[in-house]
């Protein structure tokens, strides 16, 4: 990377700046590299502040601001290749443009040339509302066609997964896993253990990439992680860029630091991201046509929202619950309390406060309290079901219950059936 900076820089400012832009874009496209040490914000701010040519003095000011931002990440980024590459790049650009390290470091802002005459003032709801029809999913459909069939996927808790096909599973899936990948967007989560040594995990990071689409939107990335739920895309913008239909992709902050909604009207999609306690939840409403718009020769088997978790990653929490109930019934002379502070009955009582119907959302809540002791998982299950009511297109399919009594008894389950929490919709 260092060699790239030096060779490209020999031809003067345009080449050096272009290298910086390329690196910033690469860092944005690979968050697992840069976001670990929080350097992505520095890169995106510098890229935005230099996206239009301006006086050399302004470039040096932006470069000093970039240097200051990078230096603030030193503690968490030491040893990170991206961090050290940025350091070397800044030094090269400082030298090439004769920028002094001393001087103003005003917060970099995107420079937008003033128009000759101001346009009419419009509200956000009016702005670009008459964009091309291709940027409004339902309006772009051929006339006299049936209304689109909307599907829902949710991912929450320890974690629990509701697929687009309304299958309900409890999974291990530690580390990075893809939820969705099609022609229009990709979603990936990173799950970490809730309790050291436990099989239970929960989502600590979430990345969504919206791919550029005709005259509607530029490529945009949204990244959230524990205690960092942004109200904007990674580049600081809140819509789809500079294209005519840009406002058909928007980030809307509902509750600061707790609840964000991303509206992608050009593909008829709504995404809800929440932070509950220390972990994230994900829910999406998406047309079936978009769900199935897979790339050619793309193996979809690992995309959890489409096919569920791999069999070797599934947990049968019915067995877990049966063991917990057995422990409770045989421990009346003792406390009967789990290692995490809840008995089976006290966990049920707590979950009943928010989830009165004993469906799989209720049982997920009980499972999470028994396996982690973290009371915040009660609210994670509650909000997951609230998102179902907002995003699912069929009110008769909100609740998912366990299959008939025969399938709920492990000894009567076919030997070839994998262990997982499965349910029927009613």
Q: Report residue 106 as tokens.
A: 């005003």
Domain(s) labelled CATH 3.40.1000.10 in the chain stretch across 133-311
Second-level CATH architecture of 133-311:
3-Layer(aba) Sandwich (3.40)
% of the chain with per-residue pLDDT over 90: 48
pLDDT of amino acid 232: 96
255: number of Cβ within 10 Å: 10
pLDDT of amino acid 336: 46
Evaluate the omega torsion of the peptide bond into residue 159 and state whether it is cis, within 30 degrees of 0.
yes
pLDDT of amino acid 101: 79
Asked whether 108 and 46 are in contact (CB, 8 A), the reply is yes
pLDDT beneath 50, residues of the chain: 1-16, 19, 28, 30-35, 107-130, 328-337, 404-422, 424
Q: Report residue 158 as tokens.
A: 């320890």
Spacing of C-alpha 122 from chain mean position? 31
Asked whether 86 and 39 are in contact (CB, 8 A), the reply is yes
pLDDT of amino acid 106: 61
Q: How far is CA 410 from CA 52, 321, 329, in A?
A: 64, 12, 19
pLDDT of amino acid 269: 97
Helix 2-9 / helix 81-96 crossing angle, nearest 10 deg: 20
Q: Who's near 343: CB < 8 A, 6+ residues apart?
A: 328, 335, 336, 337
pLDDT of amino acid 200: 84
Q: Who's near 324: CB < 8 A, 6+ residues apart?
A: 338, 344, 347, 370
205: number of Cβ within 10 Å: 20
| Ordered strands of the 279-287 beta sheet | 249-255, 259-264, 269-276, 279-287, 150-156, 160-162, 168-171, 314-315
pLDDT of amino acid 34: 41
pLDDT of amino acid 409: 29
pLDDT of amino acid 141: 87
HSE-CB at 383 with a 13 A cutoff on CA atoms is 22
Q: Which residue has the tokens 């809730």?
A: 194
pLDDT of amino acid 231: 96
Please, what is the Cα angle at 423 between 418 and 424, to 5 degrees?
130
pTM (two decimals)? 0.66
pLDDT of amino acid 405: 31
pLDDT of amino acid 96: 83
């Amino acid at each position: 990377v260092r060699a790239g900076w030096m060779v490209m820089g020999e031809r003067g400012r345009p080449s050096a700046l272009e290298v910086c832009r390329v690196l910033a874009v690469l860092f944005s496209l690979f968050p697992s590299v840069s976001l670990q040490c929080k350097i992505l914000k520095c890169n995106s701010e510098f890229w935005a502040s230099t996206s239009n040519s301006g006086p050399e003095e302004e470039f040096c000011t932006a470069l000093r601001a970039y240097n200051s931002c990078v230096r603030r990440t030193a503690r968490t980024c030491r040893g990170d290749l991206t961090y050290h590459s940025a350091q070397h790049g800044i030094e090269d650009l400082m030298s090439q443009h004769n920028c002094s390290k001393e001087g103003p470091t005003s917060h970099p802002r995107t420079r937008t040339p003033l128009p000759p005459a101001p346009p009419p003032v419009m509200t956000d709801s009016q702005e670009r509302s008459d964009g091309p029809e291709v940027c409004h999913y339902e309006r772009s459909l051929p006339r006299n066609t049936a209304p689109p069939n909307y599907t829902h996927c949710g991912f929450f808790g320890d974690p629990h997964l509701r697929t687009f096909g309304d299958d309900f599973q409890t999974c291990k899936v530690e580390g990075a896993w893809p939820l969705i990948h099609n022609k229009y967007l990709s979603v990936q989560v990173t799950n970490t253990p809730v309790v050291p040594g436990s099989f239970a995990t929960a989502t600590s990071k979430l990345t969504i990439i919206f791919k550029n689409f005709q005259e509607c939107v530029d490529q945009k990335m949204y990244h959230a992680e524990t205690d960092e739920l942004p109200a904007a895309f990674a580049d600081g913008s809140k819509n789809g860029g500079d294209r005519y239909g840009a406002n058909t992709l928007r980030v809307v902050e509902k509750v600061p630091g707790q609840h964000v909604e991303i509206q992608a009207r050009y593909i008829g999609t709504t995404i809800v991201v929440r932070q509950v306690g220390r972990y994230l939840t994900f829910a999406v409403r998406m047309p079936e046509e978009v769900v199935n718009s897979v790339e050619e020769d793309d193996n979809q088997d690992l995309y959890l929202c489409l096919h569920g978790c791999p069999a070797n990653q599934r947990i049968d929490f019915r067995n877990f619950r049966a063991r917990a109930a057995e422990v409770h019934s045989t421990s009346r002379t003792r406390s009967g309390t789990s290692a995490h502070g809840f008995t089976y009955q006290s966990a049920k009582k707590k979950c009943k406060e928010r989830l009165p119907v004993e469906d799989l959302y209720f049982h997920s809540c009980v499972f999470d309290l028994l396996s982690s002791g973290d009371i915040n998982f009660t609210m994670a299950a509650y909000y997951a079901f609230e998102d179902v009511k907002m995003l699912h297109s069929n009110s008769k399919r909100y609740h998912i219950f366990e299959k008939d009594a025969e399938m709920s008894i492990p000894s009567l389950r076919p030997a070839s059936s994998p262990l997982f929490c499965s349910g029927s919709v009613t």
